[in-house]
Amino acid sequence: MPPNITALNTTRARTYVFRLPLFTRVVILAIVGFWLAGLQSIVDIQQWGALIPDEMGLATLYRMNTFPFIHLNIFHAVMNILALTPLMERFEAEYGTLNCLALFFGPLTTIPAFLYVGLEKFVFGNNVAVMGASMWVFLLLGVEAVKTYKVNPNFVIGTYSIPTWTTPIGVLFAMAVLMPSSSFWGHAAGLVVGYGAGLGYVKFLAPPEKILRWIEGKLNLLGRLPHYVSIDQKTYGRFGVLPSNNTPAVASPGVALGLVGSTQRLGP
């Protein structure tokens, strides 16, 4: 590759990283931080924070918020960061930093976690622990697929017209085939909730904008926090408000790395 093209790509990558919004940065740093914490041998971070169906109780509900940050190894963490970052960045730019904080430490994490635990315990009778941010990846793929479908309903392969909202389902089954150690049902739980969020079925769980604006103004978050995205700086609006027809459709990103079981390794 010519040196000028390499320099251009490096500059673009550096610019992209420097422009990442606040919540997306915090998520990346948290994933890296938990991986570093897992290098010590005093506390088993994976056992402490993974989503383990048989370990769920009132005292361990924190697992529903910790498992996306914990990964098996550095490869698992890096691959999930690469898959998650563009999706999370786009979501935060659209809905705001404070909204992301409330949603991803609330319903957009706990609902798919409850679904997974319910399936494992009461349907399959298993106790497969999962960890990793790929449940978020599939959730956000579901949100993006619904938005894309409303702007560009179909894409054509040969003589077949395929609904764009089915793209994440194809990714889901491709992951199950190519990486059988990944958690199919963990990914599916995230995808189902992502479809629901994209269709607006969970919008009643989002904090009222009036309250968020009051918090932002009272604490002067926009002035105090670098890279903070205000409610009024959002790209398009809230749940159910889509880009106009003049806005190019957003294609669903490529394959995301898997949510893995406690005794299973993700990757080639």
Averaged pLDDT, 4-14:
68
**Active site (annotated) includes residue 227:** no
* Residue 248 burial class via C-beta count within 10 angstroms: exposed 0-12, middle 13-18, buried 19 and up: exposed
Range with the poorest average pLDDT among 163-172, 224-233, 236-245: 236-245
**Active site (annotated) includes residue 230:** no
Q: Mapping DSSP to helix (H, G, I), strand (E, B) and coil, where does residue 35 land?
A: helix
Query: How do strand 260-261 and strand 154-157 relate by DSSP bridges?
Result: unpaired
Q: Does an H or E element contain 173, and which?
A: helix 167-178
Averaged pLDDT, 115-120:
96
User: Contact at 8 Å (CB) between 145 and 168?
Assistant: yes
Residue 188's nearest CA partner among 132, 143, 138, 140 is: 138
40: Cβ contacts below 8 Å, ≥ 6 apart: none
Q: Mapping DSSP to helix (H, G, I), strand (E, B) and coil, where does residue 9 land?
A: helix
- Active-site option among 71, 76, 134, 183: 134
CA within 13 Å, CB half, 120 = 24
Given this model, what pLDDT does residue 201 score?
A: 87
208 pLDDT band, cuts 50/70/90, is: confident
Query: Running DSSP on this structure, what letter comes out for residue 166?
Result: G
Averaged pLDDT, 46-58:
94
1 pLDDT band, cuts 50/70/90, is: low
Q: Alpha-carbon distance 76 to 74, whole Å?
A: 5
Higher local confidence (pLDDT), 100 or 205: 100
What phi, psi does 182 have (nearest 5°)?
-75, 160
pTM of the predicted structure, to 2 decimals: 0.83
According to DSSP, the residues that pair with 130 across neighbouring strands are 51, 261
Q: Alpha-carbon distance 62 to 51, whole Å?
A: 9
232 pLDDT band, cuts 50/70/90, is: confident
Given this model, what pLDDT does residue 266 score?
A: 34
**What is the pLDDT of the chain when averaged over all its residues?**
84
Given this model, what pLDDT does residue 79 score?
A: 94
* Residue 132 burial class via C-beta count within 10 angstroms: exposed 0-12, middle 13-18, buried 19 and up: buried
Q: Does 265 score more than 70 pLDDT?
A: no
Averaged pLDDT, 148-157:
89
User: Contact at 8 Å (CB) between 55 and 96?
Assistant: no
Given this model, what pLDDT does residue 242 score?
A: 35
User: Contact at 8 Å (CB) between 259 and 125?
Assistant: no
Given this model, what pLDDT does residue 115 score?
A: 96
Q: Does 237 score more than 50 pLDDT?
A: no
**Encoding tokens for residue 125?**
């009778």
Q: Does 245 score more than 90 pLDDT?
A: no
Given this model, what pLDDT does residue 5 score?
A: 58
Q: Does an H or E element contain 157, and which?
A: strand 154-157
106 pLDDT band, cuts 50/70/90, is: very high
User: Contact at 8 Å (CB) between 72 and 133?
Assistant: no
Given this model, what pLDDT does residue 236 score?
A: 42
- Active-site option among 76, 182, 183, 187: 187
Give the CA angle between residues 145, 149, 152 to the nearest 5°: 125
